[in-house]
Amino acid sequence: VAYTIVVAAGTFGDVAVEQEAAGPRARVTLADLATPQDVAVGTAGADAVVVTNNPLSADHLRAFAATVRVIGRAGVGLDAIDLETAAAQRLAVYHLPDYATHEVATHAVALILASHRRLLEGDRVARTRWHDWRAIGEIAPIEEQTVGLIGCGRIGRAVARRLEPLAGRILVFDPYAEEIPAPAERAGTLEELLAQSDVVSLHLPWVPGDLPLLGRRELELLKPGAIVINVSRGGLIDQDALAELLAAGTVGGAGLDVLVEEPPPTGTPILSAPRTLLSPHVGWYSVAAEPRARRQVVEGVLTLLEGGRPPFGRIAVER
Ligand SMILES: NC(=O)c1ccc[n+]([C@@H]2O[C@H](COP(=O)([O-])OP(=O)(O)OC[C@H]3O[C@@H](n4cnc5c(N)ncnc54)[C@H](O)[C@@H]3O)[C@@H](O)[C@H]2O)c1
C-alpha cells in the first residue's frame, strides 16, 4: 500500500466506501480530528486527510503531521478550513464543487414550496382539528408571486430552472454573474430584490468573518410576510434577528437547512421561532450523492498524491 488516507470522523460513520474507492493504492482509516490534540495523534503517518464540515482552524492545521500533503473536502463549501494557513503549511486543498448541485437545488425548492404552502401548520391542523383549516393561515398563489434568488452560480441557476413553471416571477441578485438566464430577471441591488420578493432564497458562499448578508437591516427591508430560505450557510443570516422577526410576524416563514452553529445549542432562539422548517444540513444528500462525494474525494486525493490532476473536483489551494 502506497499511501494512508485519514478520514475525519463525523458525517459518515465508516470508511467502507472510501477504502473500496482506494483499493490497494491506499489504506483508509477513520480518526477523530475534533481538537488540535486529536489532529496531532490522528494524522500521524498520514499522506492525506479527508473532511466534511469538520473545522480545520489555523491551530488544527499547524498540528497536522508533516507527512500530510493533501486535504480533501468531501463536499462544496470551504468555510470550515483556514485556507491561508493551509497554503502556509504547504497543504493542497481539494474539494467537489458540483457533486450535489441537483440535490441542494431540489432541497431549496422543497423548503420554498413547503413554507409557501404552510405544510408545517397544515400537518399540525390535520392531526388535531381538521375542520379548522383556516388556522393554517393565508396562502397566496405562487404563480402571482416573486421568488428572489441571491447568488446565480451552479445551485442558484438550478433553483431558477426548477421554479420556472411555478413562480410568477424570478428575480436574481448576483453582482458577479455575467448573465442571468431568462426568464429570470436581474435585480440591480440587494435592496431591490428584498423589497420585491415574496420568497428570498440564498445561494452564495460564506466564510467565517463575513458579516451576515441578511442582517437585521436587510431582514427589515423584506416585504411583510416574506419567506426566507437558506440552504447555503448559517452565517449568511443574522439568525437571532430572524427569530425575532418571525415571532413578531414580520417575516412570514423560514426554511433553513443550515444554522450558525450545527447542531444548534439548546435554547438557540431560532429553534422556538414560529413557522420555521428546519433540516439538519442534508441539502447535499441523496443515495447517489453520498457515495459520489466519498469516492470522488478519495480518487482526487490519490491522483494528487501521485502527481496527477484529478479529472473532477477543484484544487482550491495548490501545494
Ligand atoms: N446545504 C448543503 O448541503 C450544501 C451543499 C452544497 C453547497 N452548499 C452551499 O451552497 C453555496 C452555493 O453553491 P454553488 O455551487 O451554487 O456555488 P457557486 O460558486 O457556483 O455560486 C455562488 C454564486 O454566488 C455569487 N455571489 C457571491 N457573492 C455574492 C453576493 N454578495 N451577492 C450575490 N451573489 C453573490 C457568485 O457570483 C456565484 O455566482 C456553497 O457556497 C455552499 O455554502 C450547501
Mutate to test the pocket of ligand 1, among 95, 101, 155, 179 (most ligand atoms within 8 A of CB): 155
Residue 1's pLDDT is 87
- Asked whether the predicted pLDDT for residue 207 surpasses 90, the reply is yes
Atom of ligand 1 nearest to the CA of 285: 3
Q: Is the CB of 150 under 6 A from ligand 1?
A: yes
pTM: 0.97
Rounded to whole angstroms, the Cα distance separating 294 from 75 reads 9
Tens of pLDDT, residue by residue over 231-256, are: 999 999 999 999 999 999 999 999 99
For range 271-291, the mean pLDDT: 98
Q: How far is the CA of 1 from the centre of ligand 1 (A)?
A: 38
Angle between helices 101-116 and 119-128 (to 10 degrees): 50
Mutate to test the pocket of ligand 1, among 203, 260, 284 (most ligand atoms within 8 A of CB): 203
- Asked whether the predicted pLDDT for residue 10 surpasses 90, the reply is yes
Rounded to whole angstroms, the Cα distance separating 179 from 157 reads 11
Q: Is the CB of 118 under 6 A from ligand 1?
A: no
- Asked whether the predicted pLDDT for residue 308 surpasses 90, the reply is yes
Tens of pLDDT, residue by residue over 83-118, are: 999 999 999 999 999 999 999 999 999 999 999 999
Q: Is the CB of 159 under 6 A from ligand 1?
A: no
Q: Residue 76 CB: number of other CB atoms within 10 A? A: 22
Where on the phi/psi map is residue 275: left (φ > 0), alpha (ψ -120 to 50), or beta?
left
Tens of pLDDT, residue by residue over 121-132, are: 999 999 999 999
Which of the following is catalytic: 107, 162, 233, 294? 233
Cell numbers placing 114: 413547503
